Amino acid sequence: MVCRRSQVRTLLVVLGVTSLLMGPVWAEDSPDQLLQARLRAHIGFLADDRLHGRLPGSDGYNIAANYVASQFLQMGLLPAGVGGSYFQQVPLRQALLEPGSAKMVFRHGDETIPMVFVEQFYMRPSLVRTTSMLEAGLVFAGYGINAPELGYNDFAGLDVRGKVVVTFAGQPHDFPSEEGAHFAASRERALAAARAGAVGLLRIHTPRAARRFKWQRLKGTVGMPSMGWVNAAGGVHGVLDQLQVSAMLSDTAAEVLFEGAPFDLATLIAKDENAEPLPTFVLEGEVRMSQRSHHRLLQSPNVVAVLPGSDPLLADQYVLYTAHLDHLGELAARSGEDGGGDRINNGALDNASGVSVLLETARLLAGGKPHRRSILFVTVTAEEKGLVGSEYFAMNPTVPIGKIVSEVNLDMPVLLYDFADVIAFGARHSSLGDTVRDAAKAFGTTLTSDPFPEQNIFVRSDHYRFVQQGVPSVYLVTGTRSLDGGTDAQQVLDDFLQRHYHKPSDDPELPINYGAAARFTRINAKIGELIASETKPPVWHEGDFFGRTFAR
């Protein structure tokens, strides 16, 4: 990041670039046309090739961060980062897997079976070890979930001490979707295994999991770095040193693990598909896994600004908006998914669109009537690395966390059609659901319940780090119905996810509907206006699981 002295110079340069991008502004242009033009300019800048995919720690990301800060400055928002700046630097450890070092071998009796990296197994670089090696026995532990609040424990009566825990991806079919997503999240699963005494994890990528994330997509992540934030003790927060190696295994490769077992893999997959309980048992044989990782320390900023409230009694309370500014950077290796030679993951919809909506939401709120509560705007780093920047801010906030009354997260609104509804993941857990419904209704839009419960979206974006700090939160995206009735919005969404999501083709050349983007922005501004003006802050619903689990 630039030093403080050069920071102002950089912001002024970016302000000039913004003016050039905006082009001439004519008096007869309508407010909606101007809003659309600004959204187009933001997405065009943030998803430009010259930012090289906004990888945290890169020059491209830092340019994007300065751009956002320049917009906050232009709107008159006050700096709310560290040291009177718009920036909160996040200390990161980056890990890169040494090419050719990832190894996996199964031993079953006298038979030794090597696995092929990426084709049959996959492991990410280690954030805690430069050299990892583990040889241990195996135990199949169903989904590897311990959820006492749901009366479920895959580890009951199972001795996994000193063993590698083998699990299926996913969760039991009868789990409530968002509560289940919490317990099935990678970190919760790792904690459950470590508490039971395991030393390694091996997750099988089942056909059910493949319907959400195809194994072939892993090829595009080879060579990309892992990142985590460094705590005061010099460790990486949330990474368990006890679990020496973790990996994924394709379902076809995993068949050999179950030779001589009480159940073969085909039977277990059938149970998973048919919503039958999975048994747990010791597996014959052992696995040897190893890898080497290169570590590097770096910094990448969250960008933070505040619109002060006007009510002396409520101005020290904050309505929070977040959007992640980072993306994947450039493809590190040819993967067959690089858009015919294009190697830059521009991230136009993921998440230049969300950042652009946040910026224009801030502009609308700053230009409107005064609001009783203060409104905080944060673009966060390293979301693509596991919600890292948002977690750092949530655990090291630049305002008291107890004073943040709500959070609205903007991540990858698919602005390719004129939507008739919005989805607010998490809406059913707090009074924020009613607020979102009222705001959407003001613009002829309805609120739809989560249509993708099997995808565990509630725990997969930055709002969840604030849920974990007890803050009522929603994650708002465009819905699955079109306003014109003729466009198959679900098909448009599916097409984007299959053809463009996390690929170089997610760029400004997509047919972005800027009229829809403007309406989505106005809905978001209305949400903030309602929360900031109400006498009582949003509250968790009585007895809600997340309210009970993370209550402050």
CATH code of 216's domain: 3.50.30.30
**In terms of domains, do 426 and 375 share one?**
yes
**In terms of domains, do 55 and 186 share one?**
no
Confidence of residue 28 (pLDDT cuts 50, 70, 90): low
**In terms of domains, do 154 and 255 share one?**
yes
Q: What is the pLDDT of residues 440-490, one digit of tens each?
A: 999 999 999 888 877 778 888 999 999 999 999 999 999 999 998 889 999
State the amino acid at position 251 in one-letter form.
D
Pick the last residue of a domain from 267, 295, 323. 295
Average pLDDT over all residues of the chain: 92
**In terms of domains, do 150 and 208 share one?**
yes
> What does the DSSP 8-state code read for residue 247?
E
State the Cα–Cα distance between residues 499 and 493, nearest whole angstrom.
10
Instruction: Evaluate whether residue 359 is within a structural domain.
Output: yes
Q: What is the pLDDT of residues 408-425, one digit of tens each?
A: 999 999 999 999 999 999
Instruction: Evaluate whether residue 140 is within a structural domain.
Output: yes
**In terms of domains, do 339 and 379 share one?**
yes
Confidence of residue 2 (pLDDT cuts 50, 70, 90): very low
Residue 177: pLDDT above 60?
A: yes
Instruction: Evaluate whether residue 91 is within a structural domain.
Output: no
Q: How many CB atoms lie within 10 A of CB 114?
A: 10
Confidence of residue 178 (pLDDT cuts 50, 70, 90): confident
**In terms of domains, do 100 and 72 share one?**
no
Pick the last residue of a domain from 295, 324, 341. 295
pLDDT average, residue stretch 132-158: 97
| pLDDT at residue 213 in the model | 86
Q: What is the pLDDT of residues 482-514, one digit of tens each?
A: 998 889 999 999 999 999 999 999 999 999 999
Instruction: Evaluate whether residue 314 is within a structural domain.
Output: yes
Pick the last residue of a domain from 273, 295, 317. 295
Domain residues for the domain of 513 are 4-76+308-550
Asked whether 331 and 60 are in contact (CB, 8 A), the reply is no
Residue 6: pLDDT above 90?
A: no
**In terms of domains, do 49 and 182 share one?**
no
State the Cα–Cα distance between residues 434 and 474, nearest whole angstrom.
11
pLDDT average, residue stretch 26-42: 86
pLDDT average, residue stretch 348-376: 97
- Worst-scoring range by mean pLDDT, 39-48, 163-172, 209-218, 539-548? 209-218
**In terms of domains, do 312 and 207 share one?**
no
CATH code of 370's domain: 3.40.630.10
Residue 274: pLDDT above 50?
A: yes
> What does the DSSP 8-state code read for residue 230?
B
**In terms of domains, do 321 and 275 share one?**
no
Residue 435: pLDDT above 70?
A: yes
Instruction: Evaluate whether residue 267 is within a structural domain.
Output: yes
Quote the number of domains for the chain: 2
Instruction: Evaluate whether residue 84 is within a structural domain.
Output: no
Instruction: Evaluate whether residue 85 is within a structural domain.
Output: no
Does the global pTM surpass 0.85? yes
- Read off φ and ψ for residue 203, nearest 5 degrees: -105, 130
Instruction: Evaluate whether residue 81 is within a structural domain.
Output: no
**In terms of domains, do 63 and 100 share one?**
no
**In terms of domains, do 287 and 380 share one?**
no
State the Cα–Cα distance between residues 63 and 84, nearest whole angstrom.
19
**In terms of domains, do 356 and 407 share one?**
yes
